[in-house]
């Protein structure tokens, strides 16, 4: 996870990715790396065998993330590398940070943060063994859990193992979850089965050369693909969010173009969700004469026009022509073009919404609007998580249960919001993959004890999560942003997300009118030091 102030939204920002870079921080003897200040010329940070250095990166500036990783990998054998590409160098507000040649912490604009610091990459090679208090117990727990994963022949676990997130490509469109035609269309009318079938997980899998799994993962939901027609010898498989952002959202059924765009964005280090949403904005603006061919350098922006979509993505990456404006997302584009185009800009405080609909997952409206990092679908939306083992008491984590009537009762639902978000923040802080919520029972308490020796309880874990979420909230408020006044675009709205938020705030111990954590809440969470910034 990368965290800091988002240059895109002005709020607290964080972004997640998989891969192998995170554990290497621990192998270097650190829990986190704090980056302060800025260099005058391009640099990379190298932490190699306990020695810390700022190294010249002039020869790396201008390289894409794959080229950067390969070049640094030759110099620092067996090191783990995270870098920015052209978009981060160009200070695109929708750029991210990439490791393992395609696992990108894409949201919140942190590529621009590193770019502003002239920091091209971080290179880590640690000599420390990961500290484990009871290794035999850890092995026992891992073996038991992995056996369940291995034996799964149906359900979410099987689908993730077999197809990765692309198993969702057709299903979520049929259910109404995937946004169609820049959030204004429907599957049946605008992206019917004869088009949708071209983007299924089965179609994606035809080009998979081998599996890709993150550190110590038995599911291995990623993939390395080869598609010669797209000029790809070795590239990461596009995830559902990318397939939807350049497929369903743009009425584009050309899978080859989606593979190509995915590779372009990974190399440039730019967020596919935001780029797809921005292209959707541009197509709709072109359709309604807000933009012309003069603005687009001759590109005929229309729904499903794969060549034009690729051309516009290339301009966004290079900040070329209209791409110089679109490289900062839809909100900046609205500020430039105006003329009523805000209707086409599907963002929350500047960050384009994830490829899941609040009309389907009701609680997503609250997450998109009011999470301290707005617009993210990975902000612990209650309704996204309750379809799996979390539905049953003790079904996911021992001792964890949601209120019995949370689907019907307002009070129970608000309490469930608090519980799910608190648990989510705790598991994120542990570096855990969010997909565990959809698989099988997870021995969380036992694993923590085996790793650390801590006798921790579910209640303590929930309190830690509440503390994290309250700190995220306080940061955004401290920056002068009243998140409670935010709204999401009308075409995305399902249930009354503002009423949901007020009830959730009450359960969190925050003022339901403005989202400010109450003084007594801060004291109870040992966050008394925050009061001086809020009161």
pLDDT at res. 408: 65
State how far the Cα of 259 lies from the Cα of 204, in Å rounded to an integer.
Answer: 9
**What's the Cα-to-Cα distance from 308 to each of 248, 250, 271, 304, 314, rounded to whole Å?**
16, 11, 19, 9, 10
Residue 54: closest CA among 116, 119, 128, 126: 119
Domains of the chain: 2-125 (3.60.9.10), 163-352 (1.10.569.10), 364-534 (1.10.599.10)
- Are the C-beta atoms of 90 and 61 separated by less than 8 Å? no
- Tokens 């990318």 sit at which residue? 242
Q: Mind listing the pLDDT tens digit for each residue in 422-445? A: 999 999 999 999 898 888 999 999
Whether residue 180 is predicted with pLDDT greater than 80 in this model: the reply is yes
| Stretch 119-142: mean pLDDT | 95
**What's the Cα-to-Cα distance from 486 to each of 413, 432, 489, 498, rounded to whole Å?**
22, 30, 10, 9
pLDDT at res. 483: 93
Whether residue 454 is predicted with pLDDT greater than 80 in this model: the reply is yes
- What does the H/E/C string look like for 473-511? HHHHHHCCCCHHHCCCCHHHCCCCHHHHHHHHHHHHCEC
DSSP letter (8 states) at residue 404: T
State how far the Cα of 418 lies from the Cα of 348, in Å rounded to an integer.
Answer: 21
Q: What angle do CA 97, 98, 99 make, to 5 degrees?
A: 135
**What's the Cα-to-Cα distance from 406 to each of 390, 419, 464, 509, rounded to whole Å?**
12, 11, 22, 19
State how far the Cα of 356 lies from the Cα of 171, in Å rounded to an integer.
Answer: 12
pLDDT at res. 387: 67
pLDDT at res. 75: 97
Residue 433: closest CA among 500, 378, 515: 378
**Between 374 and 50, residue with greater pLDDT:** 374
390 — pLDDT class (breaks 50, 70, 90): confident
| Stretch 385-401: mean pLDDT | 80
- Taking the model in full, what pTM does it have? 0.96
H/E stretch holding 524: helix 519-524
Residue 196: closest CA among 174, 177, 181, 175: 174
Is the C-alpha dihedral spanning 311, 313, 318, 323 positive or negative? positive
Q: With 0-12 CB in 10 A as exposed, 13-18 as middle and 19+ as buried, what is 421?
A: buried
404 — pLDDT class (breaks 50, 70, 90): confident
pLDDT at res. 17: 95
97 — pLDDT class (breaks 50, 70, 90): very high
pLDDT at res. 231: 93
Question: For the chain, first and last CA: distance in Å?
Answer: 30
Query: Which residues on neighbouring strands pair with residue 98, listed in sequence order?
Result: 83, 104
């Amino acid at each position: 996870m990368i965290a800091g102030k988002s240059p895109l939204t002005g709020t607290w920002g964080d972004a997640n990715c998989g891969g192998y870079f995170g554990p290497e921080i621990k192998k270097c003897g650190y829990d986190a790396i704090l980056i302060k200040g800025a260099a005058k010329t391009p640099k990379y940070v190298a932490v190699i065998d306990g020695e810390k250095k700022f190294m010249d990166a002039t020869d790396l500036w201008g390289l894409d993330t794959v080229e950067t990783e390969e070049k640094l990998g030759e110099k620092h054998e067996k090191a783990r590398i995270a870098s920015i590409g052209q978009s981060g160098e160009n200070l695109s507000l929708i750029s991210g940070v990439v490791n393992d040649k395609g696992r990108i912490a894409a949201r919140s604009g942190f590529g621009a943060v590193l770019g502003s610091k002239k920091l091209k990459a971080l290179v880590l090679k640690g000599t420390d063994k990961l500290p484990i208090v009871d290794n035999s117990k850890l092995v026992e727990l891992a073996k038991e859990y992995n056996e369940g994963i291995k034996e799964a022949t149906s359900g979410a676990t099987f689908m993730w193992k077999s197809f990765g997130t692309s198993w969702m490509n057709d299903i979520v469109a049929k259910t109404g979850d995937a946004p169609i035609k820049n959030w204004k269309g429907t599957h049946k009318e605008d992206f019917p089965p004869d088009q949708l079938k071209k983007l299924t997980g089965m179609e994606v899998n035809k080009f998979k050369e081998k599996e890709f799994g993150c550190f110590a993962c038995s599911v291995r939901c990623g993939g390395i693909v080869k598609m010669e027609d797209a000029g790809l010898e070795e590239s990461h498989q596009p995830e559902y969010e990318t397939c939807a952002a350049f497929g369903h959202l743009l009425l584009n059924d050309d899978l080859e173009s989606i593979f190509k765009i995915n590779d372009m964005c990974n190399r440039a280090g730019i967020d596919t969700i935001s780029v797809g949403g921005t292209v959707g904005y541009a197509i709709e603006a072109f359709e309604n004469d807000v933009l012309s061919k003069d603005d687009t350098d001759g590109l005929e922006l229309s729904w499903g026009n794969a060549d034009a979509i690729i051309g516009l993505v290339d301009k966004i990456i290079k900040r070329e022509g209209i791409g110089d404006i679109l490289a900062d997302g839809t909100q900046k584009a609205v500020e430039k073009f105006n003329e009523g185009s805000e209707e086409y800009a599907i963002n929350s405080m500047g960050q384009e919404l994830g490829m899941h609909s609040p009309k389907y997952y009701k609680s997503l409206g609250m997450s998109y609007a009011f999470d301290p990092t707005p617009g993210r679908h990975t902000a612990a939306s209650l309704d996204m998580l309750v379809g799996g083992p979390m539905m049953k008491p003790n079904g996911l984590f021992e001792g964890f249960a949601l209120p019995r009537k949370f689907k019907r009762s307002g009070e129970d639902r608000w309490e469930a919001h608090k519980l799910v978000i608190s648990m989510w923040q705790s598991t994120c802080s542990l570096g855990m993959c969010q997909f565990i919520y959809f698989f099988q029972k997870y021995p969380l308490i036992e694993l923590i004890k085996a790793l650390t020796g801590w006798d921790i309880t579910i209640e303590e874990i929930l309190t830690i999560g509440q503390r994290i979420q309250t700190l995220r909230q306080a940061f955004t408020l401290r920056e002068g942003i009243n998140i409670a006044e935010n709204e999401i675009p009308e075409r995305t709205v399902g249930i009354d997300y503002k009423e949901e938020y007020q009830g959730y705030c009450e359960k969190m111990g925050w003022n339901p009118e403005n989202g400010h954590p109450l003084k007594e809440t801060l004291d109870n969470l040992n966050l008394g030091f925050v009061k001086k910034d809020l009161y």
